[in-house]
Amino acid sequence: MPDKNSPEYTPRLSLLSKIIKPLAEKQIKECELRYLKDMSAWEQQKLEIDEQNAELEKLHQEELKEWENKVQEWEQRKSEFLEKQRLFNENIQAFLARYHEGDAPSIVEYCKLVLKNSVLPACIKKDFEIEYIPETKILIVEYMLPTPDDLPKIKEVKYVHSNNELKEIYYSVSFLEKLYDATIYRLLLRIIHELFEADTAKVIDAISLNGWVDYINKATGKNELACIASIQVKKEEFEEIDLRNVDPKACFKNLKGVGSSKLAGITPIQPILQISKSDRRFIQSYDVTNELDASTNLAAIDWEDFEHLIRELFEKEFSANGGEVKVTQASRDGGVDAIAFDPDPIRGGKIVIQAKRYTNVVGVAAVRDLYGTVVNEGATKGILVTTSDYGPGAYEFAKNKPLTLLNGSHLLYLLEKHGHKARIDLQEAKLLNKNKT
């Protein structure tokens, strides 16, 4: 801001100016005009600077708000992460406690984790099924083995300078057969070793291991499933072996393992002990679809009929691959409604199915219960079917878990797929239920 008292705005009156008054007034006027001009320029500059500062302040406040939002968002994510971590750790501790207490489903799940985390060549898919028999403390493992065609056949690749080509050199057939046998015997012994070694709670007294191969029968050209190696060994007997120095095949045979002389020949054998699909909860089922037509409201049919309907539909789904579905004793939404056994070596296994003939939205609690049942049953997957739909929490919980949620629309599609028609009217079902009460 210009200083009015500064020398540049103060007239320097000479003796002549002091004598001649108009001359003095002219000099004073010139100084005042210069001051006013500089003052105006300063005010304009100040105005521009104030506007710039206001714009910068606005931008600063916006950035500050954005930063505060990000901090708040980060704090929220941190809180959610810590809560998930706490719940995860609690679940792990509870799971380990059940395992040490000898809970059969927890032992099965624990052993599955052991085998899933095993570091193996890419040709071994780590596809298996496990069952634990508490009465005998025997762990039964059905393991899908690689086929001879899954092993690498190329010995080396040479560059042929004369043809400017790469030439592949293959292993001989006899070498590949020996390689396959050695690989399988090593794999079987390793599976047993890892399971026994991980059994810190000492709940496994013996392991029964069956090695299965899904292969193309050269004689028929058809896909077949064959058990080519089977062994049952006690822990105390296996722990006496020094695996670093054994011949895998000789060790396997010495443990009374059963297998053909050449595993590469894929000669089926009878397993020593297999996973049983028997379950005392299973009851005689009956068909429901024959009683359905386009006027049938699925949300209003008898709850027991609904469970048998779901069994019938999934039996049609799985029967194409040789699977079977069995209904459990009437539960009225109290647990497992049906169990499917899918023999497919990749996606198959034991599948828990629950039917919910609901007229309201299915909440996350039902999905949590299904997941707990899947774990307790030692199943590979859980399917929940309802006549209504699921809430956001239910879908969120099911993410990244072996769970499938089928709503009313999916159910009607499944019915139509197998040649049946029906409808779902939740409001009508609610009114009927209200009139009954």
Residue 109 · residue 376 · CB < 8 Å = no
User: 74-94 b/e with 16+ CB inside 10 Å = b?
Assistant: eeeeeeeeeeeeeeeeeeeee
Domain ranges in the chain are: 1-100, 103-265, 282-436
Per-residue model confidence as pLDDT tens digits over 275-303: 665 555 555 667 788 888 889 999 888 88
Residue with tokens 């992460």: 81
Q: How far is CA 386 from CA 198, 314, 329, 376, 424, in A?
A: 40, 14, 19, 22, 11
227-236, 274-283, 332-341 — most confident range: 227-236
Q: What tokens does 81 get? A: 């992460």
Question: What pLDDT does 349 receive?
Answer: 75
pLDDT over 50 (residue 333): no
Please give the C-alpha separations between residue 190 and each of 107, 149, 276, 316, in angstroms, as whole numbers.
19, 21, 24, 39
> Which two three-digit tokens encode residue 35?
């001051």
Range 431-436 contact pairs with CB under 8 angstroms and sequence separation of 24 or more: 432/300, 433/300, 433/359
pLDDT of amino acid 436: 65
- Concatenated DSSP letters of 323-365: -EEEEESP-SSSS--EEEEE--TTT-EEEEEEEE--SS-B-HH
Q: Which tokens is 365 given?
A: 């609690």
Residue-wise pLDDT tens digits, 62-110:
999 999 999 999 999 999 999 989 988 888 898 889 999 989 889 999 9
Share the mean pLDDT of the chain: 86
The type of residue at 57 is E
Q: Which two tokens stand for residue 92?
A: 């792990």
Close Cβ partners of 270 (under 8 Å, ≥ 6 residues apart)? 227, 230, 258
pTM: 0.51
pLDDT confidence tier of residue 196, bands split at 50, 70 and 90? very high
Q: Which two tokens stand for residue 395?
A: 């879908």
**pLDDT of amino acid 327:** 67
Q: Are 379 and 398 in contact (CB under 8 A)?
A: no
- According to DSSP, the residues that pair with 25 across neighbouring strands are none
Q: What secondary structure letter does DSSP report for 379? A: -
The model's pLDDT over 118-132, given as tens digits with 9 standing for 90+, comes to 999 888 989 999 999
Lowest mean pLDDT among 47-51, 328-332, 358-362, 400-404: 328-332
Which amino acid does the sequence have at 70?
A: K
Instruction: Kindly indicate the confidence band of residue 343, based on its pLDDT and cuts at 50, 70 and 90.
Output: low
Q: Which residues contact 245 (CB under 8 A, 6 or more apart)?
A: none
What element of type H or E holds 82? Answer: helix 21-100
Cβ–Cβ < 8 Å for 181, 189: no
DSSP 423: B
Q: How far is 69 from 81, CA to CA, in rounded Å?
A: 18
Closest alpha carbon to 128 in 286, 345, 408, 333: 345
C-alpha pair distances (Å), 69 with each of 22, 56, 66, 77: 69, 20, 5, 12
Contact 180, 263 (CB under 8 A): yes
Structure tokens at 315: 């039996």
Residue with the two structure tokens 């065609």: 149
* 140-192 confidence digits (pLDDT tens): 999 999 999 898 888 898 888 888 889 888 889 889 999 999 999 999 999 99
Cα separation, 384 vs 69, in Å, equals 39
Residues 53, 279: Cα–Cα separation, whole Å: 79
The token duo for 240 is 């006496």
What is the band of 332 on the pLDDT scale with cuts at 50, 70, 90? very low
Summarised one tens digit per residue, pLDDT across range 357-411 is 898 999 999 999 999 888 877 788 899 999 999 999 999 999 989 999 999 999 9
Enclosing H/E stretch for 197: helix 173-198
**Comparing C-alpha atoms, which of 198, 184, 336 is closest to residue 265?**
184
Report d(CA 191, CA 238) in Å as an integer. Answer: 12
Q: How far apart are the first and last CA of the chain?
A: 88
What CATH number belongs to 282-436?
A: 3.40.1350.10
